[in-house]
Amino acid sequence: MRGVTAVILLALIVLSAIPLALASGKSSELHHLQGEVVSVDATAKSLTVKETLKDGKTKEITFTTDTKTKVTIQGKAGQLSDLTAGEAVKVSYHKTGNGHHAVAIAQIAGTATKS
């Protein structure tokens, strides 16, 4: 009887872990957007970008960064503090809970538009 109970308990634990694994896989999906830098806070390691939506409205999104975030300025390695308001950037990011974490930020030439 104990063996059957142990097997059932183990099966329940495994089955309860499946939704968590699926949910965590979804958050690791890489997203991209192009927009205009609104502000940079190198101390807080954050970047706010204004995205222009298809209907012409704009939306501001704040991204967190860390030491692994790759920043590219005119095709060369740079730092978050090298970016300034008004510049067009492309951000590759992961959704993290209620936030967004930038994996890569590239300054781009041209106008800031959504990709």
| Integer Cα distance of 91 and 89 in angstroms | 6
For residue 28, the model assigns a pLDDT of: 76
**Over residues 90-113, mean pLDDT:** 87
pTM for this entry: 0.71
Domains of the chain: 29-107 (2.40.50.320)
Listed residue (35, 36, 18, 24) closest to 94, CA to CA: 24
For residue 109, the model assigns a pLDDT of: 81
Tens-digit pLDDT profile for residues 14-30:
555 555 444 544 557 99
Write out the DSSP string of 24-40: HHHHT-EEEEEEEEEEE
Cα 74 → chain centroid: 21
| pLDDT value at 90 more than 70 | yes
Q: Is 48 exposed, middle or buried (0-12, 13-18, 19+ CB in 10 A)?
A: middle
| pLDDT value at 113 more than 60 | no
